[in-house]
Amino acid sequence: MTATIQRQHSTRPKEHAVRLACAAIAQDLNLPLDPIVPVCMAPEQAAYNIEEGLIPLIHEQLNEAQQMRYLRCLRHQQDISYWKHWKQPAIQAGQLILKLGTKP
């Protein structure tokens, strides 16, 4: 089911509110509704609709060379995010191993 069809058939209050907000944005910016994708990037909340909505939409708008560069950038960012995520646990594990190795 496409995002447009999902937007048209949503019945829950939050989905309805999001649909109305997207329609208002499209109208205010004089854009069609299809390129409007609701996302959440608030630091205190879980990311919403980035990988399954926003990233593919951006990819579709680019020419072939730009698409390749975009995908390389995404892979690079995922690598950075992966290592940032595991940096502190790896340091803590190393410190624990050192403590255990230095005990008599």
Q: Where are the domains of the chain?
A: 3-102
81 half-sphere exposure, CB direction, 13 A CA radius: 6
Distance CA 77, CA 82 (A): 8
- pLDDT on residue 8: 54
Tokens (6 digits) for 97: 């191993």
Low-confidence ranges of the chain (pLDDT < 50): 1-7
- pLDDT on residue 32: 92
Q: pLDDT tens across 50-72, in order? A: 888 888 999 988 999 999 998 99
- pLDDT on residue 22: 92
- pLDDT on residue 1: 41
Question: Which residue matches tokens 């879980």?
Answer: 46
Query: Which positions ≥6 away from 62 have C-beta within 8 Å?
Result: 70
Distance CA 101, CA 104 (A): 8
Distance CA 67, CA 6 (A): 26
Whole-structure pTM value: 0.56
Residues making up the chain, counted from first to last:
104
Query: Which positions ≥6 away from 9 have C-beta within 8 Å?
Result: 1
Tokens (6 digits) for 65: 């060379």
